[in-house]
Amino acid sequence: MKLVFRAHAIQRLFERGVSVADVERLLASGRTIEEYPGDFPFPSRLVLGFIGERPIQIVVAEHRTANEAIIITVYEPNAAEWEPGFAKRKT
């Protein structure tokens, strides 16, 4: 799948010191922890991966007919909002 980066995602990559290669690796090896099938214009999902010990979450929408993975944003999750391991939100 071809990666397409939204402007917001590019800005966040730069701010957070995450490379395009990191995103490619995280999407290939990371784990989908949430799915958003109702997102418009394409369903999206939240992927969790790690750069060393550093947790990274990626919101990616998939435009399957165009064979594109659209990177919406990339961020380091806030420990106050996530259970240990960063795979489940605190309730």
Q: Which domain holds residue 39?
A: 2-75
- What are the tens digits of pLDDT across the range 29-57? 999 999 999 999 999 999 999 999 999 99
Q: For 46-73, what is the mean pLDDT?
A: 97
User: How far apart are alpha carbons 91 and 47 in whole angstroms?
Assistant: 19
The residue ranges of DSSP E strands in 29-85, in sequence order, are 31-36, 44-51, 54-63, 68-75
In the structure, what pLDDT confidence band is assigned to residue 74 with cuts at 50, 70 and 90?
A: very high
Under DSSP, the state recorded for 49 is E
Q: For 76-90, what is the mean pLDDT?
A: 97
Q: Is 53 within a domain?
A: yes
pLDDT attached to residue 1: 86
Q: With left for phi above 0 and alpha for psi between -120 and 50, is residue 24 left, alpha or beta?
A: alpha
Task: Count structural domains, the chain.
Answer: 1
Q: At 49, which CATH number?
A: 3.30.2310
User: How far apart are alpha carbons 51 and 23 in whole angstroms?
Assistant: 10
Please check whether residue 60 is in contact with residue 47, taking contact to mean a CB–CB distance below 8 angstroms: yes
Please check whether residue 70 is in contact with residue 52, taking contact to mean a CB–CB distance below 8 angstroms: no
Q: What is the mean pLDDT of the chain?
A: 96
In the structure, what pLDDT confidence band is assigned to residue 63 with cuts at 50, 70 and 90?
A: very high
Q: Is 88 within a domain?
A: no
